[in-house]
Amino acid sequence: MSLYFHLPFCESLCWYCGCNTIITRRRGSAAEYLDDLVREVRLVSSRLDRTRPVAQIHLGGGTPTFFPPDQLRRLGAVIRENFTVASDCEFGVEIDPRRLTPDHIAALREIGANRASLGVQDTDPRVQLAIHRLQPHRLNQKAVEWLSLAGFGSINFDLIYGLPLQTPASFARTINDVLELQPDRLSVFSYAHVPWIRPAQKILEDRHQLPDAEAKLAMFAVAHEKLTAAGYLDIGLDHFARPDDELAIAQREGTLHRNFQGYSTRGGASLYAFGLSSISSTEDTYRQNFKTLAEWRAALDAGRLPLEKGLHLTFEDRRRRTIIMRLMCERRLDYAALSKMIGVNFTDRYAAEIASLADLEADGLVVRTRSGLEVTRAGGPLLRVVAMRFDEHLATALHRHSKTI
CB count in 10 Å sphere of residue 106: 14
d(CA 69, CA 380): 40
Between 162 and 380, whose beta carbon lies closer to ligand SF4? 162
Residue 62 touches ligand SF4, criterion: CB under 6 A = yes
Residue 19 touches ligand SF4, criterion: CB under 6 A = yes
Stretch that binds ligand SF4, among 56-64, 271-279, 338-346, 361-369 (CB under 6 A): 56-64
Residue 200 touches ligand SF4, criterion: CB under 6 A = no
42, 32 Cβ separation under 8 angstroms: no
d(CA 153, CA 90): 10
Between 21 and 166, whose beta carbon lies closer to ligand SF4? 21
Residue 96 touches ligand SF4, criterion: CB under 6 A = yes
Residue 143 touches ligand SF4, criterion: CB under 6 A = no
What are the C-alpha distances in Å from 204 to residues 10, 67, 124, 180, 400? 19, 29, 16, 29, 19
Binder of ligand SF4 out of 34, 45, 56, 61 (CB under 6 A)? 61
Residue 277 touches ligand SF4, criterion: CB under 6 A = no
221, 190 Cβ separation under 8 angstroms: no
Q: Half-sphere exposure of residue 166, counting CA atoms within 13 Å on the CB side?
A: 33
Residue 13 touches ligand SF4, criterion: CB under 6 A = yes
Residue 172 touches ligand SF4, criterion: CB under 6 A = no
d(CA 160, CA 319): 32
| DSSP character at residue 272 | E
Task: Compute the least distance from the CB of residue 133 to ligand SF4, in Å.
Answer: 6
Binding mask 110-129 for ligand SF4 (x = CB under 6 A): ---------x----------
Q: Helices marked H in 46-167 — which ranges?
A: 69-82, 102-110, 125-131, 137-149
Binder of ligand SF4 out of 21, 278, 280, 281 (CB under 6 A)? 21
Task: Compute the least distance from the CB of residue 147 to ligand SF4, in Å.
Answer: 17
Residues recorded for the chain: 405
Angle of helix 69-82 relative to helix 102-110, nearest 10 degrees, comes to 10
Considering CB under 6 A, how many residues would be counted as binding ligand SF4?
Answer: 11
d(CA 363, CA 220): 18
Stretch that binds ligand SF4, among 15-23, 36-44, 173-181, 363-371 (CB under 6 A): 15-23
Residue 45 touches ligand SF4, criterion: CB under 6 A = no
Residue 35's nearest CA partner among 273, 275, 306 is: 275
Q: Half-sphere exposure of residue 17, counting CA atoms within 13 Å on the CB side?
A: 20
Residue 60 touches ligand SF4, criterion: CB under 6 A = no
Residue 132's nearest CA partner among 192, 178, 200, 63 is: 200
Stretch that binds ligand SF4, among 13-21, 74-82, 168-176, 257-265 (CB under 6 A): 13-21
Task: Compute the least distance from the CB of residue 11 to ligand SF4, in Å.
Answer: 8
d(CA 244, CA 216): 29
Task: Compute the least distance from the CB of residue 13 to ligand SF4, in Å.
Answer: 5
Residue 22 touches ligand SF4, criterion: CB under 6 A = no
Task: Compute the least distance from the CB of residue 99 to ligand SF4, in Å.
Answer: 8
Binder of ligand SF4 out of 14, 38, 165, 342 (CB under 6 A)? 14
d(CA 94, CA 133): 16
Stretch that binds ligand SF4, among 17-25, 212-220, 232-240, 379-387 (CB under 6 A): 17-25
What are the C-alpha distances in Å from 181 to residues 137, 142, 184, 199, 386? 10, 10, 9, 34, 34
Stretch that binds ligand SF4, among 40-48, 59-67, 105-113, 208-216 (CB under 6 A): 59-67
Task: Compute the least distance from the CB of residue 19 to ligand SF4, in Å.
Answer: 4
The residues binding ligand SF4 (CB under 6 A) are 10, 13-14, 17, 19, 21, 61-63, 96, 119
